[in-house]
Amino acid sequence: MLYEAFLVALLGMAICLDRVLLQVMISRPIVAAPVIGFLLGDPYTGLIVGTFLELFWADRLPIGAYIPPNEAIVAVVMTAVAVYAGKQWASHRQELIALSALLVIPMGIIGQKTDTLIMKSNDWLAQRALQDAQNGKSAWISKGHILSIFKVMLLYFLIIFSGTLLGLAVFLGLVPHIQASAWQALRILYYILPLIGTAVALHVIHARRGVPVFCAVFLVILIIAQWLQG
């Protein structure tokens, strides 16, 4: 479990770096979650988690000074926890995805606070770079850029690593004590989640017409097909 959490944190760190450096959209849940699922040998669960979260975050755009909750951290940790728990209790995969959503989605707020601190510290580094440029210390400017990147990588790694281990520990301690009625409630929640996500997507369909509709239709059809198969 420790080794898997380390691998998840390492890959998740690289994915989350896209939010502040690369910005090629690999940090979106619809991409990040299946990648983590593939790493752990269960891309299907990763796809389900990624589609759920992509819908939930359809109206959370980083516009202006607004910093949205960190969807990449949630996607990485939620996928890792859901996949690992699904391997332990294979008969309750759907319920465990719903439970992981309840436990892990609040981590987006932690990621949001972290992103705010990163941006504030970058302001200090930018002012330091201006001072170094005025003093003719050009070498320190490049060092400041490198320091900023490593700072972001370290923070994301620590959050994902500790969040994954904590989530797995909670699951290992909680799941064996879940009663039949609670399993039934979680199963109902699993089918309600795409409806909530679809409602969010419809709310912002005028701004982002393509991706939310595709994710909503795909997820609804997938859930219906899975229900019919069962």
| DSSP calls for 114-158 | HHHHHHHHHHHHHHHHHHHHHTT-HHHHHHHHHHHHHHHHHHHHH
Task: Compute the average pLDDT of residues 174-202.
Answer: 84
Residue 10 — very low, low, confident or very high, per pLDDT cuts 50/70/90?
very high
Question: What single DSSP character describes residue 89?
Answer: S
Q: If pLDDT is split at 50, 70 and 90, which confidence band does 118 have? A: confident
Of the pLDDT bands very low, low, confident and very high (cuts 50, 70, 90), residue 226 is low
184 exposure class (CB count in 10 Å sphere: 0-12, 13-18, 19+): exposed
Report how far residue 87's alpha carbon sits from residue 71's, in angstroms, rounded to the nearest whole number.
24
Among 18-27, 59-68, 180-189, whose mean pLDDT is lowest?
59-68
Closest by CA position to 100, among listed 77, 68, 72, 70: 77
Q: Give whole-number Cα distances, 77 to 6, 14, 60, 143, 169, in Å.
A: 12, 14, 19, 31, 13
Dihedral angle computed from the Cα positions of residues 134, 152, 116 and 22, in that order, rounded to the nearest 10 degrees: 90
The pLDDT of residue 215 is: 64
The predicted model gives 94-104 an average pLDDT of: 91
200, 55 contact by CB (below 8 A) = yes
What distance in Å separates the CA atoms of residue 137 and residue 131, rounded to the nearest whole number? 8
Higher pLDDT, 45 or 214: 45
Structure tokens at 136: 């003719």
pTM value is 0.81
Q: What percent of the chain has pLDDT over 70?
A: 74
Q: What is the pLDDT of residues 154-176, one digit of tens each?
A: 989 999 999 999 999 998 888 88
8 Å CB contact between 155 and 120 = no
Q: How confident is the model at residue 195 (pLDDT cuts 50, 70, 90)?
A: confident
The least confident of 92-96, 115-119, 124-128, 160-164 is: 124-128
Mean pLDDT in the chain? Answer: 81
What per-residue confidence (pLDDT) applies to 83?
A: 93
Mean pLDDT within 88-108? 89
- DSSP for 20-67, please give it: TTT-SSTTSHHHHHHHHHHHTT-HHHHHHHHHHHHHHTTT----TT--
* pLDDT at residue 79, as a whole number: 95
Supply 143's token pair. 């060092």
Per-residue pLDDT tens over the stretch 12-58: 999 988 887 777 788 888 899 999 999 999 988 998 899 888 888 87
State yes or no: pLDDT of 184 exceeds 70: yes
Sorted by where each begins, the domain ranges of the chain are 2-229
